[in-house]
Amino acid sequence: MDRGTRRITGTRLIDHDGAVQQGDFLLHPDGALSPSKGDEDVVESIDGSMRLVTRSFQNWHTHLAMILNRSMGEGLPLMEWLETSVFPVEKGLTAGFVEAGTRAAVAEMIATGTTFACDMYYHPDVVAGVLVEAGVRGISCGPITDFPTPSYPSGGTEALQNMDGLLRGSAPSERVEYGIGTHSVYTCSEETLLKASEMAAEHSCILHIHTSETRKEVADCHADHGMYPVEYLDSLDYFQSADDGGTVCAHCGWVTKREMRILAGHDAHAVHCPTSNQKLACGGTMSYPAMREAGVDVRLGTDGAASNNSLDMRAEAKAASVVQRHDHWDARILDPVETWQLATKDSFDWVTWDLDDVRMRPWGRDGRRLLANLIYSGARCLDVVVGGQALRRDGVTLSIDEAAAGSGLEDAVSDYYSEI
């Protein structure tokens, strides 16, 4: 479908501020919004009378291709789950498996109203290629560890060399770029962390790392270095400034207030992944009120479908709101507007939702219930527009064949798990 400005008429619209607007609007390719007089030159005019127009969701930490592992190892804690259900099959991971998994994952993203993913997984060039093909936005971060992996049999040095080569080339597209994914403080040596940080600074790209996900990780880091993970990273001058690309710290469930101040001082993105943390019984979930008080930039992520089991960011937003209220005994934390802003921060794209979906009713006077209905009840995603390009229209994804992606995933999983 053509790329350009779209008119949507007689609709209700919610932008980043969470307020419900009504009328006729123009959705511009650069993400801007303006009222429509009805006589503008547009590529398409959409009847919005039974649609709610909103910004799209943004997934700041995930492992897209790990949809291959969805619903395996159920009921196991993190390390046992990794060692029995993930690591054994990843020994046979191929670019073909990653492509099939990523394509199915991106189809799920689009179908649930997400247009951006900050991914960390093997074969980052393959991941980036699928993101480009689908028309979504993303950062494809190749994982760096000291031990051998399916993509890098020689370990961290080979992984860094590969990412350096990708970063020296041109970006995959105007919507997709590469980043460096140092896996964690317990899989990367000080030397590896430093080399990755220096490389990120050289290329002005994102640094992405799992941080303080479990109590064991935190305790082991303190035993080895006399510091907690964020303190340890800070002591190495690991963090990438926002001007040079920035740093994404996933999970941050076991961080001290001092560490929160360190994160804020570096303008790092701390990514809350409430569903994965609860499902794997990590024991600690990020304290959003404390993070906010410290001035940390908090984002939301699903983690991989292997540990979530969903890539639905609307559901993740609900989980974040509910767990924060529960953990802090305060029903005022993360109200619908603040939850919405957390889940859509930095979105330039537009999504529409089906107002005829019974989960969205009642709308309330002047649509006052719509935002809470969307976050806590859900709705069918009808349209997704990225950079003026329609990726989904009337409930059908255009940029990926959803049925083919699903059957391709089935075939890949049959081979991938043939030995288990």
pLDDT tens for each residue of 53-64: 999 999 999 999
Q: Domain 6-55+350-404: which topology?
A: Urease, subunit C; domain 1 (2.30.40)
**Of the candidates 419, 369, 379, the residue with the CA atom closest to the CA atom of residue 111:** 379
Mean pLDDT of the chain: 95
Position 1 scores a pLDDT of 60
* pLDDT digit string, tens, across residues 351-396: 999 999 999 999 999 999 999 999 999 999 999 999 999 999 999 9
pLDDT at 87: 82
Once rounded to an integer, what is the mean pLDDT over residues 399-413?
A: 97
Q: Domain 57-343 is of which CATH architecture?
A: Alpha-Beta Barrel (3.20)
Query: How far from 280 is each of 70, 242, 273, CA to CA, in Å?
Result: 13, 31, 11
Parse the chain into domains and list their residue ranges.
6-55+350-404, 57-343
pTM score of the predicted model: 0.96
pLDDT tens column, 99-131: 999 999 999 999 999 999 999 999 999 999 999
Query: Which range has the worst mean pLDDT, 74-78, 327-331, 389-393?
Result: 74-78
Confidence band, pLDDT 50/70/90 cuts, at residue 86: confident
Q: What is the pLDDT of residue 336?
A: 97
Worst-scoring range by mean pLDDT, 1-5, 124-128, 132-136, 223-227?
A: 1-5
Q: What are phi and psi of 4, to 5 degrees?
A: 165, -165
